[in-house]
A and B are shown apart, each in its own frame.
Chain A
Amino acid sequence: MNRREALSPGEIVRRRGGRARKARTAAFHLTASFISLLWVGPLVLVVVLSVRTFDDILGNGLMALPRSFTFRGYADAWGRGGGRRGMLNSFIITVPALSLALLLSSLTAFGLSRFRVPFRRTILLIMLGGNLLPPQIMLIPLARNAEALGIFDSFFAVIILHAAFGLGFYVFVLYGFMLAIPSEIQQAAIIDGATPFQIYRTIILPLSRPALASMGALGFTWIFNDLLWSITVLRSESRMPVTASLLGLQGTYLSDWGLISAGTITAAIPTLIVFLLFQKSFVGGLTLGAVK
């Protein structure tokens, strides 16, 4: 909340007694940092574990202070653990799926928000509704349909699934955003004889960049983090994304905690980077439409 210029009577009372305020500030930071520690602590433990040697972990215990330092776990998780393959697959799936989803949803949102479309609200709600369905209801038919079409166990199938399954939400958010762009800008372009696609490309899309960034950051993590769709329509080990290959790692190297921890940290890095780069858009995207 912003510090307001005019102080309320209550606030003036509370302003007196600087010591009490200091104590309250200290109490706040103590509480907040303790809570933050609860959230970050587990991650720190895993990071520490990931750079300890196998013998150190075995000899001194899982939670002991590190007495060794090695990147062996990372090298192993990346190499023979299949981390490189999994990571590459994740990007092969995520990048086209996300691009397709953003392209299609921005076109739909453009059409719905900038033109008088019959049943606009119905279309919007139906598309959003599709996003709220539990995926279990369509798992079996999707696997079956993919087999019938000959695209089972292909990147293409996963990409299409991801692109289509996010559409409703992206359209919903982008629609809300594009609706707020003044129509005068568009009128001028129409008078100049621009086609709808030109208006989309040169006017609306550039203006929608903040919303696109939000949806891009969110969508990236959703697709990248997915497990269920991939294990539903993929079969070959060599095509599995990093989430699934990480699970495989857990099974194969059951007691090699260093390797598993290193794999876990590696798998978390891409979404971490996206989050750090787009933190504002990310959180903004999550709360868009939540407050109304």
Chain B
Amino acid sequence: MSVPGRHRRRGIDTLPPSVAAFILVPFLLEAAVVFAPASQGVLLSFTQWRGIGTPNPVGLQNFRELADDPIFIVAFKNTLRWLVVFGGLSGLLGLSLALLLKAERRGVAVYRSLIFLPVIFSLVVTALVWRVLYAPEGLFNNALQAVGLKSWGHIWLAEPRTVLYALVVASLWRSSGYIMVLYLAGLKSIDPSLTEAARVDGANRRQLFRHITMPQLSGVNSVVLSVIVIDALRSFDIVYALTKGGPYNSSQLLSTFMFQTAFATGRLGYASAIAVVIFLLAVSFIVLYLIRALREDAR
């Protein structure tokens, strides 16, 4: 997302007080509800606090404890897995769907709408839909049985080995349409004369994709990446609704672990430290990407 360039407005030179208020009031609201609590959260991560009395400053002890907490380590690894698997697949799926459905032709609008449809449902609705599919006597086990692979049947959400990926699939179902729509918009904005020129020069489809389409999509790619990273790190509802991080914490993400620590065990300082880790992950992914993008630009 880029900010439109600085336009010289031939507006009024002095800012009327009412206009200052139009800007200041919402800004202060956001400061009070978003920025202030966020900084409080960071400060809390350096304390021990159960919600009564004043927080007891303990320096980095929470973070040291996190490093040795087996559940945290599982949640951390799962979150990275989620980022890579969910992120990678939703990018790939979204782009493939967009490429398949990019041409305006009969029926294409219907296909697009159908794939986009789950985007509008809440993750709780998504979770309940998938609970039916994953049920012991649900769609997947039934289908496996029908093709003679009954032994492959699983209690998908109750087995530590499959549960995380089962959740990823449900999330993919919901969000691929969103990524598809972003890529569709990106593909539409490519100047057709570019493609045409390359074609006249004898480029084949793969060359077209590699040298024309992909470079032109770099802007959309960065949007998609930030959407995916932010979404993945926020993923909470679907896990909370389907497994609450179980069985035996095998599907625990940092977001669900943080929520549990805060509101079930009441260790608020410790939970804040987990939140800080989530925050740092979000920032580092985006910074890493920016560095890479800038380096590519410099070439």
By a beta-carbon cutoff of 8 Å, the part of chain A in contact with chain B is 1-2, 4, 8-10, 25, 28-29, 31-33, 35-36, 39-40, 42-43, 45-46, 49, 61-63, 104-105, 107-108, 110-118, 120-121, 123-128, 130-142, 144-145, 160-161, 163-165, 167-168, 171-172, 175-176, 179, 183, 186-187, 190, 195-197, 200, 221, 224-228, 243-244, 246-247, 250, 257, 260-261, 263-264, 267-268, 271-272, 274-275, 279, 282-283, 286-287, 289-292
Contacts and interface: CB of A to CB of B under 8 A. Distances in A.
B139 A227 contact: no
Q: DSSP class of A's interface residues: helix, strand, loop or mixed?
A: helix
A269 to B, nearest CB: 10
A196 B19 contact: yes
Nearest to A160: B33
Contact of A286 (B104, B182, B241, B282): B182
Interface string B1-36: 111101101111101101110110111011011111
B33 A225 contact: no
Interface string B147-172: 00000000000000000000000000
Nearest to A147: B51
A107 B178 CA distance: 29
A292 B20 CA distance: 29
Contact of A124 (B3, B11, B19, B240): B3
Interface stretch (B64-72, B80-88, B119-127, B291-299): B119-127
B160 to A, nearest CB: 21
Nearest to B33: A164
A83 to B, nearest CB: 13
Contacts of B59: none
A116 B13 CA distance: 6
A45 B139 contact: yes
A29 B100 CA distance: 10
A8 B34 CA distance: 54
A114 B9 contact: yes
Contact of A271 (B121, B184, B234): B121
B38 A133 contact: yes
Contacts of B36: 141
A136 to B, nearest CB: 4
B112 to A, nearest CB: 9
B233 interface: yes
Nearest to A183: B10
Contact of B279 (A39, A137, A171, A186): A137
Given A111-B19, A186-B11, A63 B35 contact: no
A1 B103 contact: yes
24 contacts: A1-B103, A1-B192, A2-B104, A4-B192, A25-B105, A32-B107, A35-B111, A39-B114, A39-B177, A42-B139, A61-B142, A63-B139, A115-B12, A127-B30, A133-B279, A134-B275, A136-B274, A137-B276, A141-B36, A141-B38, A187-B10, A283-B181, A290-B185, A291-B186
Contacts, number: 310
A32 B23 contact: no
A63 B13 CA distance: 69
A45 B34 CA distance: 40
Contacts of B287: none
A28 B255 CA distance: 40
A123 B27 contact: yes
A61 B136 CA distance: 11
Contacts of A275: 117, 120
Nearest to B7: A179
Contacts of A268: 120-122, 125
A108 B236 CA distance: 31
A228 B258 CA distance: 12
B88 to A, nearest CB: 19
A28 B104 CA distance: 12
Contacts of A171: 26
Nearest to A271: B120
A78 B20 CA distance: 47
B106 to A, nearest CB: 9
Given A127-B30, A171-B26, A225 B121 contact: yes
B181 A136 contact: no
Given A45-B139, A243-B124, A292-B2, A115 B26 contact: no
Given A1-B102, A36-B111, A135-B234, A176 B278 contact: no
A134 B234 contact: yes
A292 B221 CA distance: 11
B132 A115 contact: no
Contacts of B27: 108, 123, 126-127
Contact of A8 (B124, B196, B268): B196
B115 interface: yes
Given A39-B115, A130-B30, A264-B129, A196 B18 contact: yes
